[in-house]
Structure formats: structure tokens, C-alpha cells
Amino acid sequence: MKVFKFGGASVKDAAGVMNLHRILSLFSGNSILVVVSAMGKSTNKLELVVQAWYTGKLPDAVEHIEELRFYHQELIRGLDLQHTEILLLKKTTDVFFDELRSMVSLPTQAYYNQIYDQIVAYGELISTHIISGYLTGKNVQNRWLDARDFVVTNDTFRDARVNWSRTESNIHKLVDNEQLKDGINVTQGFIGRAEEGRLTTTLGREGSDFSASIFAYCLGAEDVTIWKDVPGVLNADPKLFPFAEKIDELSYEEAVEMTYYGASVIHPKTIKPLQNKGIKLYVRSFLKPELSGTVIHEINEWRNFPPCIIVKKNQMLVSFASRDFSFVAEESLSLIFGELYKLGIKAHISQNSAISFRICVDEDPFKVQPFIEAVSSHFDVTTEGGLSLWTLRHQSEKLERGLISGKTVLLEQRSKDAVQYVLR
Ligand code: ASP
Ligand code: MG
């Protein structure tokens, strides 16, 4: 079995859905699990539904739902199906929007993150319903699977952790019962179900790549392909650096490092499960599926990887100084990291001296403010925002000098293969 992941951009309109069919037909004869995200920007729109509902603005919530209904109905209308098939697909898709409407007509009972997952998951349920229906209309036999029936998670809503052993055993059961079998299978990325309470959960924004990787791991799939709007993994963002070029081949380690520091082409959690089972990951263009893209796999010998630049914007440097001239050492660091962990803040870099400590984090006031409040009784905390974090891998001195010239370096950290800068 192969696993194909299609993101929202690849199925944002009727042409995208028809293109997905074309790509599958290039692989006819293969068994494929097709993992799909919500269409276009549906997830963002569903977030607006949640916000409106949560703040008691029912008319706004309804308006957003109706806009989403219209968008999907128009998409269906553009598909090259028989008129009766279009009508039927519209009608069956409407059921999801009716469900959303009746959900928001009741007062919200639960806390925000929980509600969020119950609503936002509809994006993937709807997209896969339409795609499965369309493929059927084109005589591609396929099975629609509800990912919540096999992806078991904890109940950390919006950032649920996967229970690997239960998920794996569920997937094996599906295969044994022939619910997941040779041919084409269609399921959702991003969503799962909590083992306790049985509510819908999500794996965090952009989590569909990770879903594809979960399925591939549990199935022992042959390979995974992420179909993107770029030709593969590039060594820099072409919007920022005109010299950006596609990398043909990467090791798992290299790919993990790149994605961890913000190369946004693949979700960082995607790689490790594939590496553990030696499953190849391809990143290819859905616009030019005949091109080979990038392959990420085991590379044992030494390679001269091209220099690679990852820029993460909207960064903030948070500095801590001890109040009493005691050292900022293990005890205070454990306090700082404890609060970071509680608030789900990732320290992209940290650096300490005897009496001070600095971290670079995403500039997210909803997280950073409570964090500062929590630690400010222990330290003098100062912040500077509006910064960017640059990670250069396999850098050359010349490239490095060129890149940072004219910018102020606030923090620098260097290892054998990489250098990182926080720049103003
Ligand atoms: N639809 C979800 C999101 O936009 C998941 C994904 O696209 O991977 O975050
Ligand atoms: Mg998406």
C-alpha cells in the first residue's frame, strides 16, 4: 500500500479535485490510502465558526457556515460529473453543514479547545466525502474511512497525542476485516478520537502530513508521497531567496532538522515514524506529477548536502536575569522550562550565562504574556519582538556573511553543521 497525502491547496477547487483523480490514474494498479486535508482555507473558516459560537455570536457563526456550504457546493458544481451525480453529491454533503448548523444552535457547553476540535474536524470529513464521491462518479472504486474510527489519541484537544499501539491494532483490524484493502481508500488527515470520552480530536494545525505518516507506519506502507504546490523540498524559501533550488534527495536526519526549525514544506512530526520503519517519503508537485520531486530516505554514506536557509519570522527574544545575583542555573531553568511546557511554548534556541538566560520563541501574545506573568516573580524579564530566527545548515562563510550583513545579530549559536542567528 502507498500513502498519498493531499493538502488543502491541492484540492481548493474543482480543478484540484479532478487533478487528484488524474494523479491517482497515473498510479493505476497500485493500492493507495489517500489522506486529504480540508479544502482550501476551510480550516481557517471553521476556526471563525468556533470563535463566533464561543463568543455567543450565533448569526456570525451561521454566516460562516453558510459561506463554507456555498464554497463546497460551487466546487461540486464545477466537477465533471453527470448532473444527477452532482445533485446527489451536493445533497449528501449538505448533511454535514446541517449538522454544523444544529451544533451551533445550542449553547456551548465545553471549553474552547474541545469545541474547536468538534467543529474544525468537519473540514476533513467534508473534503474526503466529496473526493470519495467524485472518484466513485469517475468509476474509481474506493472506500471512505472515518479516521476517528482508528486514530486513537488522548484528550489534549487541538494538540492530541497519538496512542500508537491502539491505533496500530485498529488499523490491523481494518485490514483483517477488509475495510481497508487493495485499491483506493480515502481518509482524513488531522483528526482522531480520544480514547476517553470518545470525542473528536485534532493533531494540531497542518497535522495531516503527520496523519499520513501514522497510517504508513501502522500499515508498514511501501512509501508516502506528499503532493505539494512546490516541486519538492527546496533549500530556501524562493519568495525570500531567488537562488533557492530543489534538493533531490535528503536523509531523514537532515529532513527532521530542516522541518524542526521551520522549513514549512513538511510537518516536523512526519519524519520520525517513517524513519523508524525505513519508509521512503516523497515530496512531489501536484501540478507537475511527472517530475520526480524530493525523496527522503536512509542515507548512510557522507553526503555533501547543499547549504540550506530557514527563516522563521515573528520571533521574540525573552531574557531572564536573576534578581539577587544568584546564578541562573538548574533550579531556575527547570522553573522556566516547566512554565514553557505548561503553556505549550517551544524555545527555538536557548542560551545562558551565569546571571542571565535567553530564549527565542514565537511571538504569540496569548502564550507569552501568561508565561511572563508566571515567571516574573522570580526574574527580571525583558522581551524584544519583531525578530527573525535564521537557521543555516551546511553554510559557507561567504554565504553566511552575505546573509547577515546589514542586520543586527542578537544571538548566535553554532554547531558543526549549522549556525543559528536571532536577527533584528
Ligand atoms: N486542515 C488542517 C489545517 O489546515 C490540517 C492540515 O491541513 O494539515 O491545519
Ligand atoms: Mg489545511
Residue 116 belongs to domain with CATH number:
3.40.1160.10
Domain-embedded: residue 150: yes
Domain end marker among 221, 238, 271: 221
Same domain, 201 and 315: no
Domain-embedded: residue 396: yes
Check residue 42 and give its pLDDT. Answer: 98
Q: Which of 205, 224, 227, 229 to mutate to test the pocket of ligand 1 (most atoms within 8 A of CB)?
A: 205
Same domain, 331 and 194: no
> Residue 217: pLDDT above 90?
yes
**Is the Cβ atom of 235 under 6 angstroms away from ligand 1?**
no
Distance 118 CA to ligand 1 centre (A): 14
**Is the Cβ atom of 37 under 6 angstroms away from ligand 1?**
yes
Q: Judge contact between 350 and 357, C-beta under 8 A.
A: yes
Check residue 396 and give its pLDDT. Answer: 84
CATH number for the domain harbouring residue 340: 3.30.2130.10
Residue 323: which pLDDT band, with cuts at 50, 70 and 90?
A: confident
Same domain, 30 and 174: yes
Distance 329 CA to ligand 1 centre (A): 39
Domain-embedded: residue 293: no
Domain-embedded: residue 70: yes
Domain-embedded: residue 292: no
High-pLDDT (> 70) share of the chain, %: 100
**Is the Cβ atom of 127 under 6 angstroms away from ligand 1?**
no
Same domain, 16 and 111: yes
Across residues 55-80, what is the average pLDDT? 97
Same domain, 216 and 314: no
Domain-embedded: residue 239: no
Specify the number of domains making up the chain.
Answer: 2
pLDDT tens track for 370-414: 999 999 988 999 999 999 999 999 988 888 888 899 999 999 999
Average pLDDT, the chain: 94
Segment among 155-159, 242-246, 301-305 with least mean pLDDT = 301-305
Residue 85: which pLDDT band, with cuts at 50, 70 and 90?
A: very high
Domain end marker among 194, 221, 248: 221
pLDDT tens track for 359-374: 999 998 888 999 999 9
Distance 26 CA to ligand 2 centre (A): 24
pLDDT tens track for 21-31: 999 999 999 99
**Is the Cβ atom of 205 under 6 angstroms away from ligand 1?**
yes
**Is the Cβ atom of 8 under 6 angstroms away from ligand 1?**
yes
Check residue 113 and give its pLDDT. Answer: 93
Residue ranges making up the domain that contains 372: 308-423
**Is the Cβ atom of 207 under 6 angstroms away from ligand 1?**
yes
Q: Whose CA is nearest to atom 7 of ligand 1?
A: 206
Smallest-distance ligand from the CA of 206: 1
Same domain, 216 and 313: no
- Report every protein residue that has its C-beta within 5 angstroms of ion ligand 2: 8, 37
Q: Which atom of ligand 1 is nearest to the CA of 208?
A: 8
**Is the Cβ atom of 45 under 6 angstroms away from ligand 1?**
no
Same domain, 39 and 154: yes
Same domain, 30 and 165: yes
Regarding beta strands 152-153 and 142-145, do their DSSP bridges make them parallel or antiparallel, or are they unpaired?
Answer: unpaired
> What is the rounded distance in angstroms from the CA atom of residue 335 to the CA atom of residue 157?
25
Same domain, 314 and 215: no
Q: Whose CA is nearest to atom 6 of ligand 1?
A: 206
> What is the rounded distance in angstroms from the CA atom of residue 34 to the CA atom of residue 27?
12
Distance 288 CA to ligand 2 centre (A): 20
Domain-embedded: residue 280: no
pLDDT tens track for 96-121: 999 999 999 998 878 899 999 999 99
Check residue 87 and give its pLDDT. Answer: 98
Same domain, 214 and 313: no
Distance 350 CA to ligand 2 centre (A): 31
Same domain, 111 and 15: yes
> Residue 249: pLDDT above 80?
yes
Q: Which atom of ligand 1 is nearest to the CA of 204?
A: 9
Check residue 303 and give its pLDDT. Answer: 78
Same domain, 185 and 313: no
Domain-embedded: residue 277: no
pLDDT tens track for 337-359: 999 999 889 999 999 887 789 99
Residue 332: which pLDDT band, with cuts at 50, 70 and 90?
A: confident
Smallest-distance ligand from the CA of 47: 1
Distance 415 CA to ligand 1 centre (A): 33
Across residues 234-262, what is the average pLDDT? 89
State residue 108 phi and psi, 5-degree precision. Answer: -70, 135
Distance 205 CA to ligand 2 centre (A): 7
Check residue 205 and give its pLDDT. Answer: 94
**Is the Cβ atom of 132 under 6 angstroms away from ligand 1?**
no
Q: Whose CA is nearest to atom 8 of ligand 1?
A: 206
Smallest-distance ligand from the CA of 205: 1
pLDDT tens track for 260-272: 877 778 998 999 9
pLDDT tens track for 35-66: 999 999 999 999 999 999 999 999 999 999 99
Q: Whose CA is nearest to atom 5 of ligand 1?
A: 206
> Residue 311: pLDDT above 90?
yes
> Residue 330: pLDDT above 90?
no
**Is the Cβ atom of 117 under 6 angstroms away from ligand 1?**
no
Check residue 243 and give its pLDDT. Answer: 86
Q: Whose CA is nearest to atom 2 of ligand 1?
A: 206
Domain end marker among 188, 221, 254: 221
pLDDT tens track for 169-192: 999 999 999 999 999 999 999 999
> What is the rounded distance in angstroms from the CA atom of residue 162 to the CA atom of residue 351?
32
